[in-house]
Amino acid sequence: MTNRYRNIGFSLIEVLVTIVILMIGLLGLAGLQGRALTSQLESYQRSQALILLKDMENRINANRKNAAEYITTTALGTGADCSVAVNPASAVSGADRNEWCNALMGAAEVQSGVSPTGAMIGARGCIYQIAAPVSGVPSTYLAVVAWQGLNNTKAPVAPAGNCGANQYGSESLHRVVTLPISIADLN
């Protein structure tokens, strides 16, 4: 008879311990879900940036004779005026830069007809000439797309790191992808 009374309440303690362990596990899963969503958004932004880089590469290749006119002195996209003055001699490159600027600001997707929403956070684009043409050697340009990430990482280095530098609070949130573009001498 005494053994029967000593075991009373023992199963209730087991249930409470099990509930505590399950709660800790569920909180861990909730944190993991949040990290997965952040990583998914980072991945989406990177893929958008790569699409925009390939778009500009195709535009420059289609207008190879005027490739030097695509070089940017300031970043296009967020915080920029996309109505770049179009030089009549280079109307194609001016229009291409305008369209790329609008794409960087998300013009491909508009929410309820109000404002562009389809680009990366704080997207900016730059084009640098990294090698001038020398006889037999093509000129090389570097197309760069920069945006704000969600997690801290290592800051990008120059020249790609110059595009959008000091625009995202901490440089550890500054993301860039680059694409070198070689243009053979057409003369």
More confident residue, 186 or 53: 53
Q: What is the pLDDT of residue 95?
A: 86
In angstroms, the CA 180 to CA 51 distance is 14
What are the tens digits of pLDDT across the range 116-153? Answer: 666 788 889 999 988 887 776 788 999 999 998 888 88
* Residue 27 pLDDT class (50, 70, 90 cuts): very high
Q: Buried (b) or exposed (e) across 152-167, using 16+ Cβ within 10 A?
A: eeeebeeebbbbbbeb
pLDDT at 8 over 80: no
- pLDDT mean across residues, the chain: 82
∠ CA(108), CA(111), CA(113), 5° rounding? 90
pLDDT at 187 over 60: no
Q: What is the pLDDT of residue 113?
A: 64
More confident residue, 58 or 94: 58
What are the tens digits of pLDDT across the range 77-90? Answer: 877 777 765 555 56
What are the tens digits of pLDDT across the range 150-175? Answer: 888 888 887 777 888 888 888 888 88
**Residue owning tokens 């996309």:** 82
Give me the percent of the chain exceeding a pLDDT of 70: 82
Q: What is the pLDDT of residue 135?
A: 73
Domain ranges of the chain: 2-76+119-183
* Number of Cβ within a 10 Å radius of residue 100: 25
* Number of Cβ within a 10 Å radius of residue 4: 7
Asked whether the CA dihedral 75, 80, 83, 87 is positive or negative, the reply is: negative
* Number of Cβ within a 10 Å radius of residue 53: 19
Question: What pTM value is reported for the model?
Answer: 0.77
